[in-house]
Chain A
Amino acid sequence: MPADRRHRNPGPGAAALLLRFGLYAAAIGFAVLAGYLLYLDRVISGTFEGRRWSVPARIYAQPLEIYPGLGLSVDEFEVELKRLGYTRTGSLSAPGTFHRDDRVLDVWLRGFSFSDGYRPATRLRLRFASDRILSLDDESDARIPLVRLEPPQIGSFFASHGEDRLIVAPEDTPPLLTETLKVVEDRRFDAHPGFDWMGIARAFWTNLRAGEVQQGGSTLTQQLVKSFFLDNRRTLGRKLKELAMAIILELRFDKTDLLNAYINEIYLGQDGNRAIHGFGLASEFYFNKPINELGAPEIALLVAIIRGPSYYNPYQHLDRARQRRDLVLGLMRDQALIDQPTYEATVSEPPRLSRPARRGGRYYPGFMDLVRRQLADSYDEQLLGSGGYRVFTTLNPRIQEQTESAIRTTLQALEAQRGLPPDELQAAAVVTSTQTGDVLALVGGRRPGFPGFNRALMAKRPVGSLMKPVVYLNAFESGRYHLASQIDDTPFIADPSRPDAWTPHNFDGKYHGQVPLVRALGDSLNVATVRLGLELGVEKTAQRLAELIDRPIPNAYPSLLLGAIDMSPMDMARLYTVFASGGFSARPTSVIEVRDETGALAQHYPITIRKVADASAIAQLNSGLRSVMSNGTGKTSRFRNRGVAGKTGTSDDFRDSWFVGFDNRHLSVIWIGYDDNRPVGLTGAAGAMRVWDELMRSLNPVPLNQSLPPGFIERDVDYATGAWARSDCAATVRIVLPNKVDLPGKPGCGPSLGERVKSWFD
C-alpha cells in the first residue's frame, strides 16, 4: 500500500532528497552537456574539417601579351603595371616591383598559373621607342620573344550575403603577419587550450588603465569561432558556447590550421555590398598587392583594422586607423618583430593605401553582366558565389577604359555644342575582336561604373540603315549585282498591293536617278535600297538576317529593308562580325575558360566559328562599307582614308544614332539616344561615329586585310555614276568588282589606254 509505505517509510531526510535530486540533475545535466558538446564537435568538425569557405568566383580580364614591336609606350606600360598593383621602386626588390629609367624599364613579374602552364616569377628588362616596345631581355640578357603579364582581376561573383575572400595558404602568409597577429591579439596563442585567463586579465588591466577598450580578451581561436560559427549577439550563453567550441577546435586541430583559418576567415572591411574577408583579399583591397608582398607598415595596418573594420576603416578614418597602426607598430618593436629604425621610419609615414581601381564587379557591370549570362548555362549563382572558380574572360581593360572615355568625352561635347540638356544623352557600345568574336569591351550606359540598365544587351532600338548591308549582301550573293550595277533612285510606292504600302524617301529629300550600288550603300539612299531589296525579296532579307544572327526574324515587311526592326547593340555586333571576319559567324563570347579551385579546367569555351557567307560577296560588301567611309556618310570621320569599313544608322525622327565600324582587328558598335525615346537630333555620323572616331584615336586603326577572291579585281570608278575613271579624277572610289565586268569610261576622265590594256590581263 503506497499510502502506508509513505507513512511508515518517510524515506531519507530532506537534505538527502535534495542530494539525490542534485545527483540526478547533475547526471542529466552532464549527459545533456556531453551530448551538446558531442553535437558541437560534430558541427565544428563537419564544417571545419572540409574547410569549405564560401569562395566567390574570381573573374579575370585577358592578360596583356608583350613582345618587341607591340605598340605600347613606356607610359602606357607603366599604367598596365599599376593596374596590376606593381610598385615603382629604386631597384628591383621582389616580385611585384618595377624600376624605370626613362625608356628602360625593369620589372619583376609575379608568377601566375595560366591555362597552358605556370609562368614563374620572372625578371625582365624592356626597352621602348617612343610608341612601341623595342626589346625584352631576361636576367641573363637573353632576348625574350613574348611574355604575358598576369591577367588583371576585374571582379568576383560573391553570393548574396556578400562574403568575398581570397584564400591564402600558410606558406604564402608572411611570418611577420602571423607573429604580429599573436603579439596584438593573442600572445599565448601557441600555448593556451583555446581560452586564456591571463589574456583576459591582461586585457582587463590594460583597458582599465586606458579607460577604454584597447584589448579584447578573446583568443584568436575564440575570434575564429565567433566569425565562423556564431552571429554577433553578445549573451552569456553565446559566450559559453564560443568557449566550448574554441576548446573543441583546439583539441581537434593543430595551431597552424587554426591560424590559417583565422587569416582566411576574419572580417576586415566593407566595399559596398561586398564584405572583405581574410587577409588575402584585404591585402588587395587596401594595398592592391598579394599578401606575400606585404611589408611591416601594411601588416601593422591590417592587424590594426581587425578590432573594428568600420571604425578603423582607413579609407574613411585615416587618422584613427593610423593611430592604431602606430600602436601596433609599437607592439611589434617591443616584441622585437621590427627594429627601432624600421619602427621610426614607418611611424613617421602615413599609411599608403592603394585601392585597386576596379574590383568586385562594381566597375565593369555591363561586361560582368554578359559573363554572368554566359556562365548561367552551366553554373548557378550559388555555385559561382562559393565554389572557388577562376573565370578567364575576353575583356581588354585598356580598350574598355578607352571606350568608356570616348563615350564620356563625346557625349559631353555633343551636349555642349548642340545646347542639349546636360547628362541626359545615353549611349552603349560593344567592341569585339573581328576574327574570334571575343567581346573586348562593353559599355551599358553613360556612367559605366554604375550597374543598371545594360543598354548594350537589353536596349532594343530600331537599327535604321545598319540593316542595309544585309540587302546588299543578298544582292552580291545573287550574282546579279556588283558595286557598279545601276539601280533606280526615283519615286515609287513600295509594295502598293499591301495595306502597309508606303513611299520611301531619301534622307536629303531628293531623288538621284540611276546610281551605282556603291553610292546607294555609301550615301545610304533609302529609295534605291528599298527598290533593290524588293527586287530580291523582303523575305530573302529577313531570312538572310535570321541566318547571319542565328535567330528567327518574325515579320518581313518592306520597312525591314530600312531597319524598322528593334535590336540591341550586341545583336548588331553579331551581324557585323560576319562581315568583318570575312563571312564567318562567331558568337560574341566573353568567357574563355573556367578553372575550379584546384586549378583544373572546368570548362573551355572554344573559339567557335561557322562559315555563313560567301567570301566574294563579303569582299564586295566590305569594299562598299569602305566606300561608306571614304566617300559616303562616314566621310567626316578622321579615319575615312585608313582602309576601315563602317556604316551609319539613323532611325526615324533622329531617335537613335548608330555607328558600326571595323578595321582588321576591332569591330565597334556604338549607339546614342535617349532612354525615353525622344529625338536626339543626331545622325549616325554626327553622333555615334564621333564616339568611334575618338575610340579609334587610341586604338589606331589597322587597315582591313582581306585578299581579293579569285575572279575579282579592284577598280577606280566615279563614285556618283559608277563609270570607270582614272584614279586622279575627282570623286573616285576604288571598289572590288568581278573581273569580267565591262564598265563605260567616265566622260572626260576615263581610264587611259594603258589601263584598259592592263585590264585585259587582270
Chain B
Amino acid sequence: MVRLNTRASLNPSIINQRLAWTLMAIVLLAGCSSAPPGSTQPPPRTAPQIPGLDPTQPPGPEHALTLALHDQADAARLRGDHETAIATLERAIRIDPDAPELWLLLSRVNLDAGDPAAAQQLARKALQFVGNRAKLEQQAWGLIDAAQHLAAKHAEGLDPKSPDQ
C-alpha cells in the first residue's frame, strides 16, 4: 500500500545551491572576484521569500491526522467498502488538499471501483503535490498506467472492433 514518507526529504535545489556556493568560493579564492576583502557571502535575499515555493516548507498540523484518515480509508477499501473509503478520503482532502497520499489513494479506490477516467485524473492531481518524493511519483504513474489499461479494456468490451481505443 501507499507508504507515507515525511515531507522533510532532501531537496535537490538545496544541493545545487550548496554546490554553487562551493564552486563560487573556489572562484573567489582564485582571485577572479572584485569583492572587497571582508565581505563574505552576498547578503541573503531581501526580497520577500515566497514560502509557498519552498518545498522544504514544513507540513501543516493537518498532515499527521489526514494520514490517519488515509489509513482508515485504506482499511475500508480493503474491505471492499468503496463508499466509505471515498467519503473518508474526501473528508481528508477537504482538510488537507495538498497531501499527495490522499489523492493517490482516492485514485486507487476509483480504479478498484471501476472508474478509470476518474482514477487517472486523481493520480495526475497527486503528481502536482509529490514534489521530489520519487516513490509517490512512481505510484502515481503506476496508477495512471493501470487506469489507461483498464480504460482500454472497457473500450474493448464495448466495441471489440476497436481494440486500440
Name A residues whose Cβ lies closer than 8 Å to a Cβ of B: 62, 65, 67-70, 115-117, 145-146, 433-436, 438, 582-584, 592-593, 601, 604, 606-611, 615, 626, 630, 641, 643, 664-665, 702-708, 714, 716, 727-728, 732, 734, 752-755, 757-758, 761-762
Contact = CB atoms under 8 A, between A and B. Distances in A.
Contacts of A702: 52
Interface string B1-36: 000000000000100110111011001000011000
B128 A705 contact: no
A239 to B, nearest CB: 53
Interface residues of B, number: 53
Shortest 6 CB-CB distances between A and B: which pairs? A69-B61, A435-B97, A703-B52, A758-B20, A116-B87, A727-B47
A436 B94 contact: yes
B139 interface: no
Given A436-B97, A727-B45, A754-B42, A705 B16 contact: no
A369 B50 CA distance: 38
A146 B65 contact: yes
A69 B62 contact: yes
A610 B91 contact: no
Contacts of B17: 758
A436 B93 contact: yes
Contacts of A716: 45, 47
A13 B42 CA distance: 134
Nearest to A71: B61
B121 A610 contact: yes
Given A608-B121, A753-B32, 10 more contacts: A62-B94, A67-B61, A607-B106, A611-B121, A611-B125, A643-B50, A714-B53, A753-B33, A754-B27, A754-B33
Contacts of A145: 64-65, 68
B45 A758 contact: no
Contact of A630 (B20, B48, B76): B48
Contacts of B112: none
Contacts of B78: none
Nearest to A133: B61
Contacts of B61: 67-70
A146 B90 CA distance: 15
B42 A705 contact: no
Given A145-B64, A435-B97, A754-B24, A706 B53 contact: yes
A212 to B, nearest CB: 57
25 contacts: A67-B61, A116-B91, A145-B65, A435-B93, A582-B128, A583-B128, A584-B124, A584-B125, A593-B87, A604-B83, A607-B106, A609-B122, A611-B121, A611-B124, A643-B48, A703-B50, A705-B57, A707-B131, A708-B13, A708-B53, A716-B45, A753-B27, A754-B24, A754-B33, A758-B24
Interface string B38-52: 000111011110111
B46 A757 contact: no
Residue among B69, B91, B93 having the largest count of chain A Cβ atoms under 10 Å: B91
Contacts of A732: 47
Given A610-B121, A611-B121, A752 B62 contact: no
B84 interface: yes
B75 to A, nearest CB: 12
A762 to B, nearest CB: 7
Residue among B21, B32, B121 having the largest count of chain A Cβ atoms under 10 Å: B121
A73 B21 CA distance: 44
Contacts of A611: 121, 124-125
A608 B97 contact: no
B60 A643 contact: no
Contacts of B95: 65, 67, 146
B29 to A, nearest CB: 13
Given A753-B33, A755-B42, A762-B16, A67 B121 contact: no
Contacts of B94: 62, 65, 433, 436, 438
A615 B61 CA distance: 27
B53 A707 contact: yes
Contacts of B32: 753
Nearest to B23: A757
A468 B162 CA distance: 42
Nearest to A760: B20
B68 A703 contact: no
Contact of A757 (B27, B41, B121): B27
B30 to A, nearest CB: 12
Given A436-B97, A757-B23, A757-B27, A606 B86 contact: yes
A664 B84 contact: no
Contact of A608 (B45, B57, B118): B118
A643 B54 CA distance: 11
Contacts of B33: 753-754
Nearest to B16: A761
